[in-house]
Amino acid sequence: MGTFATDIAAIRKRAREKLEMGAVTQNYGGDVKTAIALLNEAVATEIVCVLRYKYHAVAATGIASESVKEEFAQHAKEEEQHLDWLSERINQLGGKPNLNPDGVASRAASQYAEGENLVDMIRENLVAERIAIEHYRDLIRYFGDKDPTTRTLLERVLAQEEEHANDMHDLLVAHEGRPMLKK
Ligand SMILES: [Fe+2]
Ligand SMILES: [Fe+2]
């Protein structure tokens, strides 16, 4: 057996104290305020991503745009799911998700770009996904083992952003008609 030892009596005592903290216990490894602020930046990023994909799902025109529109719409739904997961987590940590439309764009890492044509739209989405991927990777490193639940959630989101980026990359290749460098 290892040396893992825990004082159950002390844990039971602490569990009865500070009930207003909900899921946040005394051994929460991070700083709750910072965690909430970081997650709210991700919330803003996801809002921008939902709106951008929704706009593209409606505005895309041209030959062969139907399947692309469907892909945009599907991504919009998944970005909304990310928004919901992040908001739930902020709530669990005792914070408020910042869904105030004022200042969303400036709080977000990703950008709202309409794009002039189908290829532009696809490219803007690929750029946005790459921004999201880099941002989530940094957040995952930050949360590390300070807050495994938040880290695991962010890992789940990151995996989907990577799928999104790959989808956009493949669409760009298909619609630009020239292969991009892929190792
Ligand atoms: Fe997302
Ligand atoms: Fe995404």
How many helices (H) and strands (E) are present in the chain, helices listed first? 6, 0
DSSP 66: H
For 97-145, what is each residue's pLDDT tens digit? 999 999 999 999 988 999 989 999 999 999 999 999 999 999 999 999 9
Average pLDDT over residues 69-76: 97
105 CA → ligand 1 middle, Å: 15
Cα 96 to ligand 2 centroid, rounded to whole Å:
23
Residue 139, both tokens: 């957040």
Per-residue pLDDT, 13: 92
Average pLDDT over all residues of the chain: 92
Residue 177 CA to ligand 1 centre (angstroms)? 27
Q: How far is the CA of 5 from the centre of ligand 1 (A)?
A: 39
pTM of the model: 0.90
Residues with CB under 5 A from ligand 1 (ion): 46, 79, 82
Name, in order, each residue with C-beta under 8 angstroms of 98's C-beta and a sequence gap of 6 or more: 40, 43, 44, 107
